[in-house]
Amino acid sequence: MTDEEWWQSARNRALEIVETEGIYCGEVGCVVLNRAHRGGRPVFGIHGASILISEAVALPNVGQVTRHLCGNEACVNPNHLKAGTHAENAGDAVRHGRLVRGIRHPKAIKINKEDEDAIRADTRTQREIAAQYGIAQSTVGQIKRGEGRWTNSGSGGWNGKDDTPLRPRVGGLEDGGW
């Protein structure tokens, strides 16, 4: 199998996964997957390798990266993914405010106060809710129980800070926390 064929078969499998397991969320039609993630992006196994779904869909060439046009790193909607240059990708990140703390916290996924209220009111399973927001199932549980720093948050984002990632302050981060 040539490299080209290898990647085409990987792409076909990735599209199949998106088609069969994808969950639509949000107004812009992002699609998320309830499966293992790497850096906040879902992965799949094929030919003994573990590949990012987004990368298999966008198929960036050497020197290119996968752009998330919607700014949602967890999204695998083929229409939201595109191969591009690092510069273009950086432009995407700035446009979506991902670079605010993105370098220190590349996996940060933000939710705001409205999301938080919606999650509390959501009657679906925590698994489904977690998939929609691209957050951990345990985080959904914490939000529902009113635990974590995002409780009593003001306007503009959880804890009143737009640039603060959703993540409980518990657990050890070597760099001293958030």
The site for Zn ion (CB under 5 A) is made up of 30, 70, 72, 75, 77, 80
Element containing residue 50 per DSSP (H, E): strand 49-52
Q: Minimum distance from CB of 130 to Zn ion (Å)?
A: 17
Burial of 96 (0-12, 13-18, 19+ CB in 10 A): middle
Q: What's the start-to-end Cα distance of the chain, in Å?
A: 46
Q: Minimum distance from CB of 18 to Zn ion (Å)?
A: 11
Distance CA 93, CA 43 (A): 21
Element containing residue 99 per DSSP (H, E): none
Q: Minimum distance from CB of 146 to Zn ion (Å)?
A: 30
